[in-house]
């Protein structure tokens, strides 16, 4: 089921329908049309699990489909930015370019962004549009930071005699874009099952915090990047999605909470602490939050 409540700036919850009808505060937190757009983006009308839903943790998708949950409208704005970018591209797909087509098989369904002559004369390019952060781009491009010995030592202070280091960027790291690659490869497979020949897969990633100092420090110097995606085995993809779809279907049919999402799916617990929309209904996320708050309280008392 979709989200049923908005989280107001003061932390209170309100039914989305009530919010759109009449704000309980003196002034709305954002324009009414913006709130309507946020509400509309949350109202998914697709019954079967989608590619993106299956890539997410099974517990996360299960909770989003079976429980009521609340969202902060401001947290959805980046998703709306993505929808605008998709709409702009879709309006300029003259010729033989396909856009925003939903395909499905016996396991799942997916809606690819662009396919055709979108980069050069090759008419078999599958493209995906991403609005993302400099942190995510840094990982996707294989950029990392490394401390380098300067050959000098501190001459005074607590670190006297210890070597000095400086931080340098390296651009030869492992590219961390597995979720993007799985998503785009399944779209490729769906297109090929429909009779199209996919020659290449490419992501166009727009950095939402480009130009800021933090992005520069992460080695992100451009606002847009073209990132090639390698092919993943069809056999592996089918086994992966069949397993994820079965796990979700079994959990919904038996109304049984699935196991905790994997470490990768949880973003090393960062998603549980602030990015999963259904985290208030997840015992694991609530335990993490309580532990973090207790640690903070202890830190405050000892300060």
pLDDT level of residue 295 (50, 70, 90 thresholds)? low
Helix (H, G, I), strand (E, B) or coil at 209: coil
User: Considering the domain boundaries, does residue 163 fall inside one?
Assistant: yes
How many separate domains does the chain show? 2
Q: State whether 237 and 278 are in the same domain.
A: no
User: Any idea which residue has 């952060």 for tokens?
Assistant: 133
Provide, rounded to the nearest whole percent, the portion of the chain with pLDDT above 70.
Answer: 95
pLDDT level of residue 299 (50, 70, 90 thresholds)? very low
User: Considering the domain boundaries, does residue 14 fall inside one?
Assistant: no
Q: Which domain holds residue 107?
A: 73-244
pLDDT digits (tens, 9 = 90+) for 188-247: 999 999 999 999 999 999 999 998 999 999 999 999 999 999 999 999 999 999 999 999
Q: State whether 290 and 163 are in the same domain.
A: no
Residue 2 in tokens: 């979709």
End-to-end CA distance of the chain: 44
- Residue at a domain's end among 244, 277, 293: 244
Give the CATH number for residue 233: 3.90.320
- For residue 289, CA distances in Å to 145, 166, 272, 273 come to 29, 34, 8, 6
The pTM for the full model equals 0.88
pLDDT digits (tens, 9 = 90+) for 241-283: 999 999 999 999 999 999 999 999 999 999 999 889 899 999 9
Q: State whether 272 and 137 are in the same domain.
A: no
Q: State whether 163 and 92 are in the same domain.
A: yes
């Amino acid at each position: 089921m979709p989200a049923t409540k908005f989280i107001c700036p003061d932390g209170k919850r309100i039914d989305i329908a009530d919010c759109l009808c009449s704000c309980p505060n003196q002034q709305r937190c954002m324009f009414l049309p913006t709130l309507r757009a946020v509400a509309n983006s949350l109202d998914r009308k697709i019954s079967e699990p989608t590619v993106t839903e299956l890539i997410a943790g099974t517990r996360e998708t299960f909770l989003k489909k079976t429980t009521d949950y609340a969202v902060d409208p401001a947290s959805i704005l980046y998703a709306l930015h993505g929808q605008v970018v998709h709409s702009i591209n879709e309006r300029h797909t003259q010729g033989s370019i396909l856009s925003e087509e939903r395909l499905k098989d016996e396991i799942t369904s997916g809606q690819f962004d662009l396919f055709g002559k979108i980069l050069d004369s090759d008419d078999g390019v599958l493209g995906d549009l991403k609005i993302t952060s400099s942190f995510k781009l840094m990982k996707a491009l294989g950029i990392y930071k490394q401390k380098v010995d300067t050959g000098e030592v501190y001459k005074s202070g607590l670190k006297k005699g210890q070597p000095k280091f400086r931080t340098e960027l390296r651009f030869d790291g492992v590219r961390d874009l597995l979720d993007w690659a799985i998503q785009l490869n399944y779209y490729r497979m769906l297109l090929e099952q429909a009779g199209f020949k996919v020659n290449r897969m490419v992501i166009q990633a727009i950095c939402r915090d480009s130009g800021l100092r933090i992005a520069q420090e992460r080695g992100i110097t451009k606002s847009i990047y073209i990132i090639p995606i390698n092919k993943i085995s069809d056999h592996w993809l089918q086994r992966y999605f069949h397993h994820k779809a079965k796990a979700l279907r079994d959990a919904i049919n038996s109304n049984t909470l699935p196991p905790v999402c994997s470490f990768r799916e949880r973003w090393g617990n960062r998603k549980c602490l602030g990015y999963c929309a259904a985290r208030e209904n997840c015992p694991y996320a609530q335990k993490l939050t309580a532990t973090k708050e207790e640690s903070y309280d202890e830190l405050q008392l000892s300060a």
